[in-house]
A and B are shown apart, each in its own frame.
Chain A
Amino acid sequence: MTFKTFLIKYGEIGIKGKNRYLFEEALVKQIRHALKKAEGDFDVRREQGRIYVDCLGAYDFEETVDALKHVFGVVGICPVVVTEDEGFDALAETVISYIGEMYPQKNQTFKVDARRARKNYPRTSMEINADLGERILEAFPGMHVDVHTPQIMLSVEIREKIYIYSRIIPGAGGMPVGTNGKAMLLLSGGIDSPVAGYMISKRGVKIDAVYFHAPPYTSERAKQKVIDLARIVSHYSGPIMLHVVNFTDIQLYIYEQCPHEELTIIMRRYMMRIAEHFAQETGSLGLITGESIGQVASQTMQSLAATNEVCSMPVYRPLIGFDKQEIVDVSLKIGAYETSIQPFEDCCTIFVAKHPVTKPNLNIIRRSEGKLAEKIDDLVKTAIETTEKIWVE
């Protein structure tokens, strides 16, 4: 069956009161952007609290649905049949041919759910339900009505035109990107940080990202992998400005000056400082990390407190209560997992102590950082100045 129109269902936007139109406009904008990836020409229109995507001419159904599934704020995607109101008999015929094509077995249970937005239509919703149900039963004797748990929920909406659909393809949910400000994601090559970016972006937040590169201890391929991951997140979040910071000299300096078991914590503190710098520079309202309590030494409550201390901005940690498997599940869902597990990262392991501190004492950490006083400001300044900015979309 070929559909010419999709009805887009959206959820939470509906409850946003007077700001509702802002959210709807953002959603329309995001849908238009996402559809550029699909083959075909589309018209996206807002009408009576609904969003419709009209397909102008030939288009690729799978690609279109896939593009729409990547738009935050979309709860459901319904391929609809649109027909002019040419009397009840004509409507019944259209409905019967719709069911005939969509459900070849014709032995399911069903329920008609009519909605009469145009109140001058000669039948009430209840009458339409009953009358259409009867016509369907006549046409397909193998089908039965079940008003509680039908296998097919046939929606018929009477507006200027009549919309018929029964299939709701689940969307990504969340809020349209751009309705909730911007945040800076600390992106590594691992499994967690792309998922964290996805989760925050899902709440309508635009994303920029920062990656700490340590050549020659990490390779060009490790960097390419991070760009690839940013691209995967950008399929949901929209374009990302990726900041690639050369962190080698800072790392080596910390390595020389500070106790090795504190390396990771001190390194992370400098990463946060640099990330915050770029966040402020680009108008982000917070930082995002993929941390989850207790996952590694640097993610114990004490370590998180120690890294958190250097930032004045809020740090969002959407995975904080997730188990690894739960993170992996989302990573698989958004198509990042395969890329995340490519093994390029490990050359950095010389900077990881065999027994890193798990309960860092802030006073001791601050004292260790004091040993960096001579050069660290210059090194941070150079790192910021030499940062490469890559537009990823």
Chain B
Amino acid sequence: MEAYLDNSATTRCMDSVKDIVVKAMTEDFGNPSSKHAKGVQAERYLREAREEIARTLKVSEKEIYFTSGGTESDNWALIGAALANRRAGNHIITTAVEHAAVLQPMAYLKEQGFEVTYLPVDRQGCVRLEDLQAALKKETILVSMMYINNEVGTKEPVEEAAKIVKEYNPQILFHVDAIQAYGKYRIYPKRTGIDLLSVSGHKIHGPKGTGFLYIGEKVKIKPLILGGGQQKGMRSGTDNVPGAAGLGLAAREAYSSFEEKLSHLAAIKERFLRRVAELPDTVVQGQAADGGGAPHIVSVSFLGVRSEVLLHALEERGIYVSSGSACSSNKKLPVSTVLKEMKLESSLLESTVRFSFSVFTTEKEIDYCLEQLEELLPMLRRFTRH
């Protein structure tokens, strides 16, 4: 039996998405920039995809820009907005637990002379609003915060943060990395006060190499990719029509029968947590420990078991998960910065594994995974380093 429990890494593409991608590649393969009918036909896919996505966010389709994925969306949002608003100030605020797709652009902006404040997190990986309040100053031009932490599933207080930022100064741009959250939460940027929102396609059963950035119509931002002037000159390069079509469909699917999907995920997660609680010497990390956090991510420390060894042992039994950390004996591999920022003890750092679910995850898979854990953990604990 197989159990794919690594849906925060990537998800299986939906069949309907695959079909529309193939159609856009083989039948309606025109270039939307072409003047002839074949081009117009291809352009229709783009427009429809934009409309589908815009509808899920209750924004205008003019505010949706296709990218090559979450990383590009984050890079563009941060670097593009920082450079365009430099005259207003040079201070940026983010959190210490962001994905590398945010942290690396921040490091780059620091090199370019920007000042970056990293908000610390509590033991569950959550930022404190009073820290955000205290970090704001008149030079602040941009605040970036993830919606859901990709490693431990903690939900950051995005709505409250947006309110604080906008009350302090409505000119400050608020960016949200929603890569783990889109499709799992109803996110309405205009009501919340989000100016920029990054989303990735392959996390929502869409194709890899796709994503979008929502850019509020009044937001000043510079393009990063220059060329033939596609997407109103904001993101050049021949439009990825098959990708956009697949992404649009995946977005629509993610929000259709939304409540049922959420309750399916909730049931899966609850079943998993209930059975994990029965295992000795395990600690659930993040907000999931208190029944909160994302509906699809659970991070668990198995004391006395090296996460990577457990990962490979599970893999031998067809169960696929992620290890947040790596062998601490090997200095070349960094231990997860998120868990470190949460100030976990090193015994926990070394032994934490992430399980992440999707609508395709079944109760049978969960039961199989737990059965295997019950069998494996005592075995692996027999051979620990003394």
Contact = CB atoms under 8 A, between A and B. Distances in A.
Interface stretch (A301-309, A342-350, A370-378): A342-350
Given A252-B383, A347-B327, A217 B332 contact: no
A350 B306 contact: yes
Interface in B304-346: 306, 308-316, 327, 329-330, 332-333
A267 to B, nearest CB: 14
Contacts of A181: none
Most chain A beta-carbon neighbours within 10 Å: one of B312, B330, B332: B312
A224 to B, nearest CB: 13
Contacts of B315: 216, 220
Contact of A343 (B309, B316, B332): B332
B385 interface: yes
A212 to B, nearest CB: 15
A345 to B, nearest CB: 8
A219 B308 contact: yes
B274 interface: no
Contacts, number: 43
Interface in A206-223: 215-220
A255 interface: yes
A235 interface: no
A347 B312 contact: yes
A216 B383 contact: no
Contact of B316 (A216, A255, A256, A350): A216
Chain A interface size band reads 10 to 19
Contact of B308 (A252, A260, A347): A347
Is chain A's binding surface mostly helix, strand, loop or mixed? helix
Interface string A11-52: 000000000000000000000000000000000000000000
B352 to A, nearest CB: 15
Interface in A252-266: 252, 255-256, 260
A349 B316 contact: no
Contacts of A256: 382
B386 interface: yes
B384 interface: yes
Contacts of B333: 343, 346
Interface residues of B, number: 20
A350 B383 contact: yes
Interface string A330-371: 000000000000010011011000100000000000000000
Given A255-B383, A260-B386, A350-B384, A343 B312 contact: no
Contacts of A350: 306, 309, 383-385
B329 A346 contact: yes
A142 to B, nearest CB: 50
A356 B383 CA distance: 17
B329 A216 contact: no
A349 B326 CA distance: 13
Contacts of A219: 308, 312
A295 B90 CA distance: 52
Interface string A196-236: 00000000000000000001111110000000000000000
Interface in B268-320: 306, 308-316
Given A255-B383, A343-B332, A343-B333, A215 B316 contact: yes
Instruction: Return the 9 tightest CB-CB contacts between A and B, nearest first.
Output: A216-B312, A216-B313, A346-B330, A343-B332, A346-B327, A350-B385, A349-B329, A343-B330, A219-B312
